[in-house]
Amino acid sequence: MEDKLPRIIPEPGTTPNVQRDAREAFEVLKAGGVIIAPMDSGYALLSCSAEGIERAFQAKQRKPGHTLGVIGSYATHEQLHVLPPEKFEMTRVLTQDMHSLVGVVALYKKDHPRMAALSPATLDRATKGDTLGIGIVENEFLRELTRLNDEDGQLMIGSSANLTGRGQKFRVQDIETEVYQSADLVVDYGLQRYHRYKRPGTIFDIENMRVLRMGANYEVFRDRMKQWWDIELPEDPENKVGKATGLGVGLKRHLLKILLCYR
């Protein structure tokens, strides 16, 4: 018997439509299904149901003890995490205003209805002790999808759309067959923005102001933390940022030659 393949949106020859595509993805999630969705740091395998999360967990060949993350909006983060106002303002600026990609780990509200609705197995996979990790979304499709989830009260949980240990997948056609076929719907928005990093997103323990994972675009996150809140974080050894020195000598000479030509 031939394996069932997921439905793909947008259909070939059709351009993305964020409102339409997010609504279709939401309906699949609401029905208990699994989706593959675009994130700047690679495609993600996501579900809101205990059965769907288990299917995704098995497809990734995830080992017991490995956590999955909540993918949500800033509003999701504000609802579920326990933080002082100044730290919520920090994440609001980084994610809502600056569209930064960052996963935030902090204490969570165990009695919140959205957490209480999770099955014991899902809760165990999504939390570590008293902390919960939330990947705060950055692209417009996920912002609309998480808005729909917030209105409905369901939580979207998952991980990168790849076999465990095989690295991020930045194009749908690169996703392993086992993972691809575990989904009911694939939202194919082409090559994702941070493909050159070949890394997942940054994860930040905001409770202790500690970097747990240097991910894609980390150097931008680090620079903003220093510039706006004077918080010094470790430098990424693979993506160092040099000091700004203005126009290079070669460029200055080139511009001077151009100006002289018009005299």
What digits encode the pLDDT tens for the residues 101-153?
899 999 999 999 999 999 999 999 899 999 999 999 989 999 999 999 999 99
Using 50, 70 and 90 to split pLDDT, how confident is the model at 1?
A: very low
How far is it, in rounded angstroms, from Cα 252 to Cα 142?
43
Cβ-based neighbour number of residue 117 at 10 Å: 14
* Residue pair 19/13 in contact by the 8 Å Cβ criterion: no
**DSSP count for the chain of H helices, then E strands:** 10, 11
Tokens of 251: 């460029």
3-class SS at 101? coil
Question: Which tokens go with 126?
Answer: 């999504």
Say which residues have a Cβ less than 8 Å from residue 23's Cβ, sequence separation at least 6: 148
Residue 245 has pLDDT above 60, yes or no: no
Torsion angle defined by CA atoms of residues 122, 124, 129 and 133, in that order, rounded to the nearest 10 degrees: -30
User: Is 240 buried (19+), middle (13-18) or exposed (0-12) by CB count in 10 A?
Assistant: exposed
* C-alpha span between 128 and 263 (Å, rounded): 68
Q: What is the mean pLDDT of residues 21-35?
A: 98
> Which tens digit of pLDDT belongs to each residue from 75-104?
999 999 999 999 999 999 999 999 888 999
Is the Cβ–Cβ distance between 108 and 76 less than 8 Å? no
Higher-pLDDT residue of 216 and 249 is 216
Domains of the chain as residue ranges with CATH: 7-261 (3.90.870.10)
Mean pLDDT of 215-219: 95
pLDDT tier at 172, thresholds 50, 70, 90: very high
Q: How high does pLDDT run on average in the chain?
A: 91
